[in-house]
Amino acid sequence: MKIQVESISREIIKPSSPTPSHLRHYQLSFLDQVSPPVFMPFLFFYSEEKHDKLNHRDKSNHLKKHLSDILTQFYPLAGRVIENLYVDCNDQGIPYAEARIDCRLSEVIGDPIPGELNKFLPCQLDDVGDLPLAIQVNFFNCGGIAVCVAISHKIADALSSIAFVNSWAAAARGGDVPSPQLTAASLFPPKDIAGFLPSTGVIKDRIVTKRFLITSSKIASLRERCTDKLKHNTNEDEGRPRPPTRVEALSAFLWSRFMASTVEKKDPNKMYTVLHAVNLRTRTDPPLSEHYFGNITRVAITQPVIDGDGDWCGIVNQVREEIKRVDRNFVRVLREDDNHVNFMKKRAEEFIKGEVVSFSFTSLCRFPLYEADFGWGKPAWVGSASMPFKNLVVFMDAQSGDGIEAWVNLKEEDMAKFEVDEEFLAFASPTKGSKTLGF
């Protein structure tokens, strides 16, 4: 369904107390510098509860007050990014919008259309400028509410973004709020990245985003199929092979079906790669707290080789080995030398020339998305939106607990082929709606 959104108000929310002068200069880390200048969308939908005594105006004031309070701890979010080098923590504040949605919440979350969900956001996702954060709160006719947060990838990864939202919610409930650790630049000092464009990969083409549900039973079937294949290819003295994780099995399967449905014949002059975002916090020596704020993530890059019999299961081991390489030594080298910068420049040049066809996976599975209770209960559903990237899949746990949602972003012509692939549809259930994102 088409969603009608009426703007109610726009204002700026500033921290409730000024940022001390010695904290005014927040240095971006190297990993922040190379992150794309786009907003990451997180949409939290709340039903009106029968015992809920707060009306929309009360909820609005409640959200704004505690947002102002929590910005004193997450003070870089209220500043402005300067020349991809640092954040001027000048307490300039964040854009905060409110809107009225002319339908019931159940009509939206019953079968969400990713592209329509972009209307719930305060801005276009590629219109970042110097803003670290923007928020829009949407009110439904039925009394429901959607708190929609857009955080710049220039300043935070997904885990840090969710930590911010959960801290805001905890403050609103009067609970304990752990302080974020804002020292990532000391671990990954900024570097000279001249010649590398962080916006590489952000495209203006027409992108279609669709949600597909893969139930737990279908995932189990994919994992079992891979395990049987791994057993067949394993010597007895190597022991029993470890079954693939849900994400390993799903990503290998989805990439293989993307290739089968959209690429008639591999171009020998092109490099086909699969990218998995990897959290570095658990891979440093010693491990970092989950409260380390910023982009503490890198990608594991696999150049998959499909077995001669065409079976995709062999990709699982290849992906697993590349992810395993993102270890303590990888992090140490990443911190100490410039080889990674040179590699990124080279790969970006190849991407721009069309010599690399990449397919990226980001998993938000097991992230605490449903912990954001602002005082009127946990979310009825948490979603995302249509992203300005092609060949991107975001995995999220299904709210029901039965399986995983795959948010698939493809070029329009590729989605037309992918979404009717019979082998893919034998495991994945498409939702009814899709939306082309055209800029």
Q: Is 157 exposed, middle or buried (0-12, 13-18, 19+ CB in 10 A)?
A: buried
Q: Do the beta carbons of residue 427 and residue 221 sit within 8 Å?
A: yes
Which residues are part of the catalytic machinery? 153, 373
Q: Which two tokens stand for residue 249?
A: 């099995």
Paired residues of 298 in beta bridges: 278
Paired residues of 98 in beta bridges: 9, 137
Write a three-state SS string for the chain: CCCCEEEEEEEEECCCCCCCHHHCEEECCHHHHCCCCCEEEEEEEECCCCCCCCCHHHHHHHHHHHHHHHCCCCHHHHCEEECCCEEECCCCCEEEEEEEECCCHHHHHCCCCHHHHHHHCCCCCCCCCCCCEEEEEEEECCCCEEEEEEEECCCCCHHHHHHHHHHHHHHHHCCCCCCCECCHHHHCCCCCCCCCCCCCCCCCCCEEEEEEEECHHHHHHHHHHHHHHHHHCCCHHHCCCCCCCHHHHHHHHHHHHHHHHHCCCCCCCCEEEEEEEEECHHHCCCCCCCCECCCCEEEEEECCCCCCCCCCCHHHHHHHHHHHHCCHHHHHHHHHCCHHHHHHHHHHHHHHCCCEEEEEEEECCCCCHHHCCCCCCCCCEEECCCCCCCCEEEEEECCCCCCEEEEEEEEHHHHHHHCCCHHHHCCCEECCCCEEECC
Q: Do the beta carbons of residue 374 and residue 63 sit within 8 Å?
A: yes
Q: Do the beta carbons of residue 384 and residue 232 sit within 8 Å?
A: no
40/384 Cα distance (integer angstroms): 8
